[in-house]
Each structure stands twice: as structure tokens, then as C-alpha cells.
Amino acid sequence: MPALDIREIGDDDVEDVAALWKTCGLTRPWNDPHADIAFARKCENATLLVGRLSGSIVASAMAGHDGHRGTVYYVTVDPDLQGKGLGRAIMAAAEDWLRKRGVWKLNLMVRESNTPVIDFYEALEYEREDRVNLAKWIDLSKKPSGKMP
């Protein structure tokens, strides 16, 4: 497997990244991928890394920090290429991006039922911590109606 070519997203990559997220089942009705990409791109403390093989986008990771901790979202690898080390590679790039900006700890959220992804992060030396994740929609116009799955 050739090395993943990892760079920050460019204007021409947006549609391919949105399509990758859709293929990987990462999009949700309340998260418009184009809006999420645009928001991350205009934020100084965030990046969206894309990984290419033979010119095609096959992996992504959105990384950012809030002035204290780092986090990642939209970590994904093309389903046909999973299990070959590409997820590890894009996460290493996200960690490097954060480390270079002075971040020393990364927190991330995974649904408790999503055991394959928890296993992936544990293989990358992420540890479970005894925390409760609380969230509040502070812009109610964006809040989805009904119960979120």
C-alpha cells in the first residue's frame, strides 16, 4: 500500500469529501456536510485533512482545538480500503497538526454502541475516561425536531 498523501482540503476537494462522508455513513440530517466543511475551513483553529491514494480522496479527518483541548470529527476511510492502516495515518496527521499548535491532549466522542470505532481508537492508544458528555443546542434554529438517534 503506497503512503497516503495527506494535505489540507482545497476548493476542488469539497464535493469528493462530502461524497466520502456520505458513502461512509457519517452524514446526518442535522449536519449539512457542505456547511460543516465551510465552517471548519474558515476557522483558524481547525483544519480538514484529506488523504489521497493515486490522486483519489480516500480518507479525511477534521481536527481543531478550542484553546485548550483538541478534538477530531469526520475521521473516515473509504470502505474498500479500511483495515490497511489508512485510518491510523490520517489520525497521526491530525495529531501532528494539533501538536504543532501547542495542543497536548485530544478528547473525542464516540457513541458507546460504536464498538468497532472504539476498538480503532483504543488501538491508537486512546483511553476511556470516566466522563459524562453533555450537550446543548445554543442556536435552537439548528436543533433537529424529534429525538436524535
Which stretches of the chain bind ligand COA, using CB under 6 A? 24, 26, 73-77, 82-88, 116-117, 119-120, 123
State the cell numbers at 118: 472504539
Residue number with the shortest CB distance to ligand COA? 87
State the cell numbers at 59: 480518507
Among 65, 55, 58, 64, which Cα is nearest to 37's?
64
24-51 in b/e form (b: 16+ CB < 10 A) is bebbeeeeebeebbeebbeeeebbbbbb
Q: Which helix (H) or strand (E) holds 34?
A: helix 33-41
CB 41, min distance to ligand COA, A: 18
CB 86, min distance to ligand COA, A: 4
Question: Residue 123 or 148: which CB sits closer to ligand COA?
Answer: 123
CB 45, min distance to ligand COA, A: 19
Question: Residue 74 or 102: which CB sits closer to ligand COA?
Answer: 74
- The burial class, CB within 10 Å (0-12 / 13-18 / 19+), for 78 is middle
Question: Residue 2 or 102: which CB sits closer to ligand COA?
Answer: 2
Question: Residue 55 or 83: which CB sits closer to ligand COA?
Answer: 83
Question: Residue 52 or 145: which CB sits closer to ligand COA?
Answer: 52
Among 47, 44, 42, 50, which Cα is nearest to 18's?
50
CB 140, min distance to ligand COA, A: 25
Q: Which helix (H) or strand (E) holds 121?
A: helix 115-123
CB 50, min distance to ligand COA, A: 13
